[in-house]
Amino acid sequence: MNIIKVVIFIGLIFNFIYAEDKDLKNIFDKSKINGTLVISSLNSEKNYIYNNSRALTRFIPASTFKIPNTLISLEEGVIKDENEIIKWDGKIRSYDIWNKDQTLQSAIAFSCVWCYQKFAKEIGNDKYLDYLKKIHYGNEKTGLDISTFWLEGDIKISAFEQIDFLKRLYKNDLPFNQKNIDITKKILTVENTNNYVMKAKSGWSGKIGWYIGYVETKNDIWFFALNGDISKEELKYRKQIVMESLKIKNII
């Protein structure tokens, strides 16, 4: 890690040195999930954190990598927009919803692995490494298999770094065409109510579960990043813990 990256990383850490939040701890204890959650305001210095040490620890991003992967795929022109049809290859996979033609909108909503594997093979490892360096994403590594590196490769990112990346995405402070940033933000929408709009992406590597994103309220933008040691039977807790935490903090 060169001196510039060290300075950026240290600055990121010091922005998030706060006492452990008891409300969030109680929610994790009730769910019996070993994990971390960072909730951070855009307009103020308010931050709510559970498990500081884990929030600093890098883990494989799993399908949360579909956020930068979408930006990169659009920028490289392997997909033109959220409506272009991605033709199904006819191979039967474990999730029925994957076994048909997709769009970028459906691919991110249903976390369609084969769609992004198709993009990855067209993009190539060298371009990924270049983009990861440009956007300062986690440890900026990929892995041996270009089609699965975000699921079982060398790439790692912490909860704090996820928050930083999401803030830069929201502020359009990433080296991508504005159209591509706008498309990515649009397809991340999971809830749109009278009181808030939520943009989010889940992820699961088989061991590590993620739920990251941000909530646009009338008064502020709140960013969140959760990860935990989560089994298949516990996947519901990713979003459940985040939603309960946002509610107990009167954010939504």
Are 209 and 227 contacting, i.e. CB atoms less than 8 angstroms apart? yes
SS3 of residue 179 by DSSP: helix
HSE-CB for 199 with a 13 A CA cutoff: 21
The DSSP H or E segment spanning 185 is helix 178-187
The token pair at 67 is: 């956020």
Task: Please pick, among 40, 63, 73, 158, the residue that the annotation labels catalytic.
Answer: 63
**Among this protein's residues, is 245 annotated catalytic?**
no
Tracing tokens 């049809």 back to the chain, one arrives at: 85
Are 115 and 86 contacting, i.e. CB atoms less than 8 angstroms apart? yes
Specify burial of residue 77 (Cβ count, 10 A radius: 0-12, 13-18, 19+).
Answer: exposed
Strands 35-41 and 221-229: what pairing? antiparallel
Are 33 and 230 contacting, i.e. CB atoms less than 8 angstroms apart? yes
Tracing tokens 């084969």 back to the chain, one arrives at: 114
Are 166 and 212 contacting, i.e. CB atoms less than 8 angstroms apart? yes
Taking residue 152's Cβ as centre, other Cβ atoms within 10 Å add up to 14
Q: What angle do CA 116, 56, 52 make, to 5 degrees?
A: 125
Are 169 and 185 contacting, i.e. CB atoms less than 8 angstroms apart? yes
Catalytic residues: 63
